[in-house]
Amino acid sequence: MKLGKLPVLPWYLRLMAFLVVGGVLYAGFWYFVTSGTRKETKAMEEEIASLRTKNAQAAIVQQNLNNFKAAYKAREEEFAELKALLPEQRELTGGRRKLRAVGARVSAGLSPNADALDPGFHGARTHCIRGFMAFHRLRPASTAMLMVSV
C-alpha cells in the first residue's frame, strides 16, 4: 500500500491504518523506553515484600523484648527486696550449721535393707532412706531454719 492512496481510501480504513500505526508506536515506546523502569519497579516490589516480612518479625521480637524487659525489671526488684532481707554473714553461718545438722540427721537415717543382710543376697548393697526427701519441701524448711536463726 502506498501512502499516496491513503486519501483515496474510505474513512474507516484510514482510521484503522492510523490506529495500527499508533499501536505499533505505543508498543515500541512501552517496550523499549519503559523496560528499565519496569525492572526497577519489580525489584522494588520484591524488596518491599521481604522488608514487610522482616518488619513483621521485628514487631514480634520487639513485643517479646518488651515482655522480657518487664520480667527482668520485676526480677531485679525481687532481687533487691531479697537482698534487703538477707541476714548478716554470721546469721548465714548459723543457718549453714543447722542445715548440716539436718543433713547429718538425714544421712543417719540411711540403714541397710533386710534384703542386703540376707546371706543369699548377692546384689549390691541397698539402703532405705528415711527422713524428708521431698525436694519441694526443702526450700520452706531451709527458709524456716534461717528465720529461726534471725
Residue 97 pLDDT class (50, 70, 90 cuts):
confident
Question: Higher pLDDT residue, 147 or 51?
Answer: 51
Rounded (10°) angle between helices 138-149 and 89-108: 130
What is the rounded distance in angstroms from the CA atom of residue 87 to the CA atom of residue 92? Answer: 7
Domain residues for 149? 87-150
9 located within any domain: no
Please give the pLDDT value at position 48.
97
Residue 119 pLDDT class (50, 70, 90 cuts):
low
75 located within any domain: no
56 located within any domain: no
How many domains are contained in the chain?
1
Q: Determine the average pLDDT of the residues in 8-13.
A: 89
pTM score of the predicted model: 0.36
